[in-house]
Amino acid sequence: MRLIIAAIAAALMWLAGPAEAQTTSAAAAQVVARHRAASGGSAWNQLRGLHETGVEDGVRYEAWYDPLRYGVRIETQEPAGRRVRGFNGVGAWQISPDRVITGRADRASLAQARSQAYLAAWAFLFPSRFAADTAHLGVRQARGRSFDVIRVQPTSGEPRELWFDRSSRLLSRVVDRTGGRPVTTELSDYRRVGRLLLPFRAASDRGGRPSLRQVEAVTTEAADRTRFSWTEAEGTPRPQ
pLDDT of residue 24: 81
1 confidence band (pLDDT: 50, 70, 90): very low
Q: Do residues 215 and 52 touch, judged by C-beta distance below 8 A?
A: yes
Give the pLDDT score at 208: 76
Give the rounded percent of residues in the chain with a pLDDT score beyond 70: 88
Q: Per DSSP, what are the bridge partners of residue 65? A: 50, 72
Domains by residue range for the chain, with CATH: 2-237 (2.50.20.10)
Q: Is 12 helix (H, G, I), strand (E, B) or coil?
A: helix
The model's pTM: 0.88
Determine the pLDDT at residue 106: 84
Question: What pLDDT does 233 receive?
Answer: 62
pLDDT (tens digit per residue) in 6-32: 444 444 434 434 344 578 899 999 999
Note the pLDDT tens digit of each residue in 101-139.
999 878 899 999 999 999 999 999 999 999 999 999 999
The DSSP symbol for 158 reads -
Instruction: Indicate the pairing of strand 132-142 with strand 100-104.
Output: unpaired
Gap between the Cα atoms of 101 and 226, Å rounded: 16
The whole-number pLDDT of residue 7 equals 45
Average pLDDT over the chain reads 89
61 or 104: whose pLDDT is higher? 61
Average pLDDT of the segment spanning 150-175 = 98
| Secondary structure class of 112 (helix, strand, coil) | helix
* Residue 174 CA: distances (Å) to CA of 54, 73, 187: 20, 21, 8
CA distances from 147 to 53, 121, 163, 173, 174 (A): 29, 22, 6, 9, 12
pLDDT value of position 231: 79
Q: What pLDDT is recorded for position 23?
A: 84
- Give me the amino acid identity at 170: L
